[in-house]
Every structure is written in structure tokens, then in C-alpha cells.
Structure 1
Amino acid sequence: MISKNINFKDCAALIESNPDGVIVLDMEGQPWIWNQRYLAIWGLTDEQVSRFTLDELTDTVLAQIDEPELSKDRFLVRVLDAHLGEKVHFRTRGGRWLRRRAHDFIVDDRKQGVVVHWNDVTETYELRREAAYEHDLLLALIDNIPDQVYFKDHQSRFIRINPSLARRYGLNNPEEAIGKSDADFYSVEHAAQTAAEERRIMETAQGVYSQLHHEKWGDGRESWNLSTKLPLRGPQGDIIGTFGISHDITEHKQRESIIWQQANFDALTGLPNRRHLRARWEQAKVHAERSKSMLALMLLDLDHFKEVNDTLGHAYGDELVKELGRRLQHALRGSDVVARLGG
């Protein structure tokens, strides 16, 4: 509100000091006071504005607005209605974004016109648009990446997971995981281990990178993953939880196990093969030398084994070899090694 004791010159000086582009229209809609910032925003001069009617001023400004379907009447409502608040934005043909704010011009408790503020928010708008674009890119990556992505609060409860992890948990959608924890999916022991790890991450502000996890599920299944976990920080920079990404390597570990099994064990009997026996022998020698203990190696040959294969067939010969291996293992200690050198 302005007092009648404030003259035109003082009012004009007050408006000129405003960083926004400001124009005051009287009750008939005629321009009364404006500042240089207003002229700069719309590319006008004092002479033009001083002789413009409301229609002429509206036509000049509307011609710069990049909204072809916007009528003059609708534009005036959006500009002059003080009840619309500040959420009125216009894009100019030059690519700028302007925010308009209007309020009644009150002098001694009586409305004398309307004050319209124009603020160039192009930089703010572009920053927000870039942030929204980056946010959309991040969501697109999280939602489509085959790895599992998750965010947890300070009590290790999920606040967001991606579709890949939801599928791994057998959920219909990621929202079903919100509020749950690892204890809802994994064994008690495994859930306790991950919770302890996440507490350390939050307490030390130090993440873990590509760490191998042997997962044990509540239904008895086992799996493997490589997981990176980091502290999750809030808007003020304080740690509010953890987040991470995991890559399921269960199939890789299974293939690795099969390859190792094939490389070190006899396919027929399941006994260590020559290669594995040699490695175990070298280990045993080192241990025997350090402990000054005895070490024995015994080689057994199956006499006339060829006759078994020739007379009864190879299937019987295979069963004979397997049964011999089982009996030898049963007769020896658990620390002893029974291996098959032939085959």
C-alpha cells in the first residue's frame, strides 16, 4: 500500500530501483509509471509507452510472445489478474522465459490500478530444464540397466529399487520393495551381514567397490554378485542412507566352478585327476617339511582290467573303477587324497 503523502516522483524512484521490469497501469489500463528494466525487457522506449493505449501496448508485447493460439483477451487476463499468483510464465519469440507477477496498486486503502512485474527467468528455467533432462536420463538408465540398483534409508530399508532388482526379488513392480529390507528376501545371516556393512559405510562415509558377495536367500538358494555401495547424502550433505549397484555373476561362478571341476577332477569317478593330485602333493610336501612329519604316496594298478572291459563291457569296467574309488575313500582318512591317474 502507498500513502497519498508519497508523490509521483518518489513512487517512480521506488519502482526504478526494483530489479524486475515493472509497469503500473491505472484503473483504465493506461500506463502510468514504468522503469527502465521494463523497457529493456520489451525493447520499448519511454516515448512509445507514454503514448500507447492499453490495446497498443498489449499488441506490441503480445507480438513478442511465442504462443500463436493465445488471444489478446486471454493474454490480458493472464497478465493483469492479481489472483493468478506468480505461476504465469511466457516464452518470447527470442527464446527467453518471462515470469509475470501482478498485484493491485493500493493508495490509502483504495485500488488505483495494477502493478505488473516482469522477471527474466530464462537462466533459472534453463537450469531447471537441464536438471529435469539429466534426471530423466538417469531414470532411463536406472530403469533399463540389467544390473540391480537400489537406495536405502539409514535403517537399510529400501526407498527405491529398479525393475531389474524387482524382478530378481520376484516382485510385480519396484514400489513393492519400499519399506522392506534384505531380511524380507535373504537368510537371517546374510541380511545381518549386509546391514552391518551398510552401517559401516554410513559411519565411515567410505564406500565399497566391486565387492564379491555370496548371497544366501530365505528359500535356501545361493547366488553371487559384485556390488558397489556408497553413502547416500541428503540435500544438506548429511548421510541419510546408502545406495548401490549389483551385478549378478551367479552363472559366471557356476561356469567357473564347472571349468575348475573339469580341470581338476576325473569325469568318471569324481576323484582328483593327475593335475589336481600333483598340486595337492606339492602342498603336502611343503607342510611335511615344515612340520617334520612323514608323507606317503601309494600307486595302485588294476591288474587285468582290460579283461574286464573285453569280457563284460566298458560299462562294467567303469562301475569297477568307481566302486574302487569309493572303497578307497571310505578306508582312508578325510585328509588323505585318492586320485585317478588314468582315464
Structure 2
Amino acid sequence: MMSDKGQALLSQALTRAANAILITDRGGRIVWVNDAFCRLSGFDVAELLGQTPHIVHSGIQDRAFYLEMWETILIGQPWQGELVERRKDGSLYTVNQVITPLFSSDGDVTHFVAIQHDVSQRQADQGRMQRMAYHDGLTGLPNRTLFFELFNRAIEYAVKRKENLALMFLDLDRFKAVNDTLGHSIGDQLLNAVAERLTGAVRKADVVARLGGDEFIVLATRIGNISDIEPVAKQVLDAFSPPFTFGDYQVCVRISIGVSVFPLDGDNAEVLLRKADAAMYRVKAMGGNNYGFWTENE
């Protein structure tokens, strides 16, 4: 049997433990919480005692999730899993939780001890890393890697629905002159503004990505007939008619667009991108501020 001193030490250790801990009775009513649980959830002890853990449920996990958890612990087995909880102020946090049943001398389950490790920061870090891996650091648009993934999915969808796709390769005419005369800060602002205009000019089902520099891509999806592509290309061109304003500067932007079509011009993203790129350079050589389709003469 543990001495009074040992019990006091154990109580202090649990109360001040870094991980959040709560104890419930068999019916799920909270009978004890430690300081870390109060800090993590935003509730004080008086608000938690007598309540059930439902007080911090976020609604992210469905009923089946909790049914499986309760089925496990009621038969005396520990349960471990990751779940999203909701603080008193409404903000969400993610924990890795281990629930351990406690037993009476007769072997009946009487209480449950839940220990939670806050993994919100880890998830946030993973989210940032994933965003860096799949999105352009300047504009936030999908980068080349994500674009090719989205393109491959779009191809599968188009094949099933017997539709076409249009890949539009866009390049800003004389962007280097903007950087040289107004500086890279204005150049970066311009690229961000271009990304916003492109996103606003295309349809919701279309994808806008940045390859790098002043090169952007638009993937026009759900194209029934080839003739449906031209209104989309013209709408993108029209979006660049008004000048961009940055403080005291006004910048007029002209763009050149090269277009390739799936499946007419190729059956994969690499081939279609190369052909749209070739069509874009032909448009640029002819004065730019226009669009053109890839042809066998490129």
C-alpha cells in the first residue's frame, strides 16, 4: 500500500503533468481533471466536473467514431486515437488520446483515465510543409508538382465523361522590363495581382497554377467542344485590359497564351505542356497580347 507521502506525490505529479489528463466514471461523467487539461480546453475545474467529455467535442468525429471508442473501453480494453477537440472559446485543437479503463477489486470497469498529448503544432507544421511542397511561395497558387497531380486527375475524369481539356500556357510580355525599371518589389506585387486576376477570370472548375517566373498555366476543364475553349481564352485576355496600380505606378500588362487540347494534341501533361509552350512562343513572336492553338507547324 502506498504511503500518505507517496499518494501526495502521485497526486501532485498528475495535477502538474505536462499532458492533459481527465478521469471519468463509467458513465462518462468527469470526476477529476489536471491543470494541463484546463489550460488546453480553456475550461476551469468547476465548469468540467460533472460534465461529460462532450463539452469539448468539436463535431469533427462522427457518431461511429465514438461508438467504436466506447465499445473498446467498456470491455476493459485501452483505446488510442487522434481527435479534434473544441476549446471554450470555440477554437479547435488536435490531441493524441489514450484512454485506460480502471477496475474494481471484482474486475468491473469503474472509471476511465484519458491522457491527451496536444499535437496541434505538429499538424500545423505538417500543413505548412505540405503547402510549401505543393504551392507557389509567392502567389499561393498550385505549383508544378500539384498542377501535374491535378492535371492527371482531370484527365481521368475527362476520359470517363468523354470531354476535352485545354491547357493554356501564359507568359507576361516584357515582364523583365517591369523588374528592371520599377524593381523586384513591384514585380512581385504584379505577379500576385496577375494570379488574382487569372483566378477571377476563369471558371470555378478551372485550375490556375504558376510554373515560376512570369509563367502561369490555366487548365480549362469540362470542355465539350473545341470551340468552347476560345471564350475562356478571350475572357483571360480581357481580364488584363485594365492596368494594374501600385501606389504611384500604373502597369499595363500584355500576355501571350498558347493552347493545347486533350486528347487532340496529346494524352499526358508533359506533352500538352510542351505543345502549349510552343504555341505561346509563336504568339509572342507575332506581337503577343493574343492566344493561339498548337498546330503541327510549331
TM-score bracket for this pair, using the shorter chain length? 0.5 to 0.7
CA distance in 2, matches of 1:227, 1:129: 28
Pairwise CA RMSD: 3.1
Amino acid at match of 2:145: R
CA distance in 1, matches of 2:183, 2:99: 58
Counterpart check, 1:142 vs 2:14:
yes
Aligned to 2:189: 319
Aligned to 2:50: 179
Aligned to 2:28: 156
CA distance in 1, matches of 2:60, 2:5: 38
What's the secondary structure of 1:299's corresponding residue? strand
Deviation at 1:158, TM superposition (A): 1.0
Amino acid at match of 1:178: L
Aligned to 1:166: 38
Say whether the 8 Å CA contact 2:98–2:116 is kept in structure 1: yes
Deviation at 1:163, TM superposition (A): 2.4
Aligned to 1:95: none
From 168, 171, 185, the equivalent of 1:301 is 171
Aligned to 1:272: 142
Deviation at 1:202, TM superposition (A): 4.5
Deviation at 1:285, TM superposition (A): 3.0
Deviation at 1:299, TM superposition (A): 0.8
Amino acid at match of 1:181: T
CA distance in 2, matches of 1:228, 1:161: 15
Higher fraction of strand: 2
Say whether the 8 Å CA contact 1:266–1:272 is kept in structure 2: yes
Counterpart check, 1:208 vs 2:79:
yes
What's the secondary structure of 2:170's corresponding residue? coil
The TM-score with structure 1 as length reference comes to 0.53
Say whether the 8 Å CA contact 1:186–1:218 is kept in structure 2: no
From 208, 215, 220, the equivalent of 2:90 is 220
List per-residue Cα deviations over 1:302-339 (Å, max 9, x = no partner). 11111122223323322322222112212223332111
CA distance in 1, matches of 2:198, 2:106: 68
Amino acid at match of 1:224: T
Q: Which structure: larger Rg?
A: 1
CA distance in 2, matches of 1:260, 1:318: 23
Change (3 A) 1:129 1:238: closer
Q: Which runs of 5+ in 1 are unaligned?
A: 1-127
From 187, 202, 205, the equivalent of 1:335 is 205
Q: Which runs of 5+ in 2 are unaligned?
A: 214-298
List per-residue Cα deviations over 1:200-241 (Å, max 9, x = no partner). 3454544422x1112233422011111122333333222234
Say whether the 8 Å CA contact 2:72–2:78 is kept in structure 1: yes
Deviation at 1:248, TM superposition (A): 0.1
Change (3 A) 1:191 1:311: closer
Deviation at 1:164, TM superposition (A): 1.7
Change (3 A) 1:192 1:182: farther
Amino acid at match of 2:49: I
Which aligned runs of 4 or more in structure 1 are off by greater than 6 angstroms? none
Amino acid at match of 1:167: R
Deviation at 1:283, TM superposition (A): 2.7
CA distance in 2, matches of 1:256, 1:340: 22
CA distance in 1, matches of 2:11, 2:69: 24
What's the secondary structure of 1:269's corresponding residue? coil
List per-residue Cα deviations over 1:158-180 (Å, max 9, x = no partner). 112222213323456x5763223
CA distance in 2, matches of 1:142, 1:288: 58
Deviation at 1:136, TM superposition (A): 6.1
Q: Percent identity?
A: 31
Amino acid at match of 1:169: S
CA distance in 2, matches of 1:239, 1:175: 25
Larger CA deviation: 232-241 vs 257-266:
232-241
What's the secondary structure of 1:300's corresponding residue? strand
CA distance in 2, matches of 1:242, 1:319: 56
CA distance in 1, matches of 2:110, 2:69: 11
Task: Write out aligned runs for 1:1-343 (5 A).
Answer: 128-129=1-2, 138-139=10-11, 141-170=13-42, 177-187=48-58, 189=59, 196=67, 199-209=70-80, 211-343=81-213
